[in-house]
Amino acid sequence: DLPDAGTFSWKAPSNIALVKYWGKLAGQIPTNPSVSFTLDTSATRTTLICEKTMDPGEFPHFSIYLDGAPAPHFSEKIRTFFERILPYQPFLSEYAFEIRTENTFPHSSGIASSASGMAALSLCLMDLELKIYPDMSTEFFHHKASFLARLGSGSAARSIKGGVVQWGEHDAVPGSSNLYGISYPFEVHPVFESFQDTILLVDKGKKEVSSTVGHALMQGHPFAKSRFDQARKHIDQLRPVFREGDLNAFMALVESEALSLHAMMMSSNPYFILMKPGTLEIIERIWEYRRRTGHAVCFTLDAGANVHLLYPGENKETIQAFLKEELVSFCQDGHYLLDRVGPGASRL
């Protein structure tokens, strides 16, 4: 029996990929596996109010609010999402939804909210499903939440669980799937549990190239096969790096991933340079600082100009002093966000 109404609230985190997802097949199937750190403070809080509708002819039936105000610019994305997930949650057509959402990170920070936003909404929808099927296991709940989130935005599949998460099938990683993200199943050295991610906002504008366009550029890309092989090889190499806490190998792998992602965009047709001069200034200063001091700090990039500075928690004071002295001047309005590895989504 379907409940007449329900209200569900979840907080879901953002995540930062170490091995990048870039390229997909139909049905949001990734062309290579990816691995990420779940973040802690960058998150979305969503409340979903469900009410059985008398008019099941209209689907999807929803309204969406961001920070309490109607957010019609999200409607198209949410509509597509509902249409994609209906085959997996057919009861959705019986309901009218009100979605109330807020992000912990500032608007127009250039930080995408799609991963945390789609994850939070998917978890709320799974709560409705749980009310209908109360016997489902916790594992099924999490896998299906990630499965639904993936259909909203690929990287959202990695925003359910905490710590290190893998999404995408890899022979050497048991339980890995193209359909949903899993907790990294191998040993992770404690040095990574306290890892910090400081997001340097070099460009707070809207993304120049949407990820939909970006993923599509990998189809027929001259280097696509090598790139997908490289990502798989990096995932193999991560296993001993995570186990032993080998920071030098970690930094080399993560920076190589970021630059390979950008190299793919520079060599696609059409081609793009998504770094800004400030991005390169920051990278050069990180390298110079590392040569000079030997301290563990590295960068990663997503499909934009902002830089994620990754470093162990035990180096926090030293690295944040370096950040203020040498890097903040390259951030737009001097803005950056302090984040760290976090525990995954939680019910509110």
CB of 131 to ligand PMV, least distance (A): 29
CB of 258 to ligand PMV, least distance (A): 9
Count, residues near ligand PMV per rule CB under 6 A: 12
Q: Does 254 bind ligand PMV (CB under 6 A)?
A: no
CB of 160 to ligand PMV, least distance (A): 14
List the one residue from 8, 10, 21, 250 that touches ligand PMV (CB under 6 A): 21
- Which residue, 21 or 330, has its beta carbon nearer to ligand PMV? 21
Distances from the Cα of 318 to the Cαs of 50, 152, 289, 296, 313, in angstroms? 49, 39, 11, 10, 10
Dig out the tokens for 205 from the structure. Answer: 């504008």
Q: Using CB under 6 A, which of the segments 13-21, 74-82, 189-197, 223-231 binds ligand PMV?
A: 13-21
Beta bridge partners of 287: none
How far apart are alpha carbons 285 and 309 in whole angstroms?
12
List the one residue from 14, 31, 32, 34 that touches ligand PMV (CB under 6 A): 34
Q: Does 17 bind ligand PMV (CB under 6 A)?
A: yes
Dig out the tokens for 148 from the structure. Answer: 């639904």
Bond from prior residue into 312 cis (ω within 30 degrees of 0): no
- Which residue, 21 or 82, has its beta carbon nearer to ligand PMV? 21
DSSP string, 63-123: EEEETTEE-GGGHHHHHHHHHHHGGG-GGGGGEEEEEEEEESSPTTSS---HHHHHHHHHH
List the one residue from 103, 153, 166, 268 that touches ligand PMV (CB under 6 A): 153
State which H helix or E strand residue 131 sits in: helix 114-132
Q: Does 146 bind ligand PMV (CB under 6 A)?
A: no
Q: Does 152 bind ligand PMV (CB under 6 A)?
A: no
Can you state the angle between helices 138-152 and 75-85, rounded to 10 degrees?
130
Site for ligand PMV in 209-238 (CB under 6 A): 211
Q: Provide the b/e sequence for 5-26 (b: ≥16 CB within 10 Å).
A: ebebbbbbbbbbbbbbbbbbee
List the one residue from 122, 155, 260, 300 that touches ligand PMV (CB under 6 A): 155
- Grouping H, G, I as helix, E, B as strand and the rest as coil, residue 187 is coil
Q: Does 250 bind ligand PMV (CB under 6 A)?
A: no
List the one residue from 32, 104, 114, 166 that touches ligand PMV (CB under 6 A): 114
List the one residue from 200, 303, 309, 319 that touches ligand PMV (CB under 6 A): 303
List the one residue from 11, 20, 142, 161 that touches ligand PMV (CB under 6 A): 20
Q: How many CB atoms lie within 10 A of CB 228?
A: 18
Structural contact between residues 132 and 91, judged by C-beta atoms closer than 8 angstroms:
yes
Q: Does 308 bind ligand PMV (CB under 6 A)?
A: no
Beta bridge partners of 300: 308
- Which residue, 128 or 298, has its beta carbon nearer to ligand PMV? 298
What is the binding site for ligand PMV (CB under 6 A)?
17, 20-22, 34, 114, 153-155, 211, 302-303
